[in-house]
Every structure is written in structure tokens, then in C-alpha cells.
Amino acid sequence: QKEVEQDPGPLSVPEGAIVSLNCTYSNSAFQYFMWYRQYSRKGPELLMYTYSSGNKEDGRFTAQVDKSSKYISLFIRDSQPSDSATYLCAMSARGNEKLTFGTGTRLTIIP
């Protein structure tokens, strides 16, 4: 079993829809949770960063962490064609320099 599981997709949704992306993990030491967006042939861009459990909102993006279930989510409201990209979840334990990534979900927003 991988430490971090993420559905690779592809996921296609119409413009304006709410998108839900998810990752599950097995290592209870993880405390820092990140979502990166990666456009084709570019480097990952940090979208959201959350420490421990709870919700964080930034514009159209909401990140949720449920440590009791070892489950994290990213919601995108009012999705736009420019949101089409691969979304990578990543996590790390405190004081641990190693990020563990999910495999990435390829998302396409259809105009």
C-alpha cells in the first residue's frame, strides 16, 4: 500500500461546476498538507497549505484535512478552463524534509 493514495483521473467537469479532489494517507505522523497545481511541462505551483486538521479557504479554493480519517480534500468552486491542470497532494511530518506526493489527478474543465 502506498503512503499516499490519489485517484489519477482523468476528471472532466463542465465550467462552473464544483470540483472535489481527494487524497488518503496511512502515515499518522503527517502534519503538513499541501496541494500543488501543475500545468503541462511546468513546475508545481503551491495552491494551498494546511497544518494539522481543519479547513482553509483562499478565493475559489478550499482545503480540508481530516486527520482522524487520514483524508484530505481540495474543493474548487466556479471552476474555470484555466483550472485545467494536474493537482498533486503532498504531505510531510514536522521536522521531516521529505515530501510524500500523491500520484496527481489530471483535471479538465470543459468550457
Partner 1 sequence: DTEVTQTPKHLVMGMTNKKSLKCEQHMGHRAMYWYKQKAKKPPELMFVYSYEKLSINESVPSRFSPECPNSSLLNLHLHALQPEDSALYLCASSQAGLYQETQYFGPGTRLLVL
Instruction: Kindly list the residues in this chain that would bind partner 1 in the complex (CB under 8 A).
Output: 32, 34, 36, 41-46, 49, 51, 88, 90, 92, 94-99, 101-104, 106
Least separation in angstroms between residue 89's CB and partner 1 is 9
What is the DSSP secondary structure assignment for residue 8, as one 8-state letter? -
**How far apart are CB 16 and partner 1 at their closest, in Å?**
27
User: Of 43, 107, 48, whose CA–CA distance to 81 is shortest?
Assistant: 107
H helix intervals, the chain: none
Rounded Cα distance between 103 and 2, Å, is: 10
Q: Which is nearer to partner 1, 10 or 16 (CB)?
A: 10
Please, which residue, 17 or 101, has the CB nearer to partner 1? 101
CB 5 within 8 A of CB 21: no
Residue 57 or 78 having the CB closest to partner 1: 57
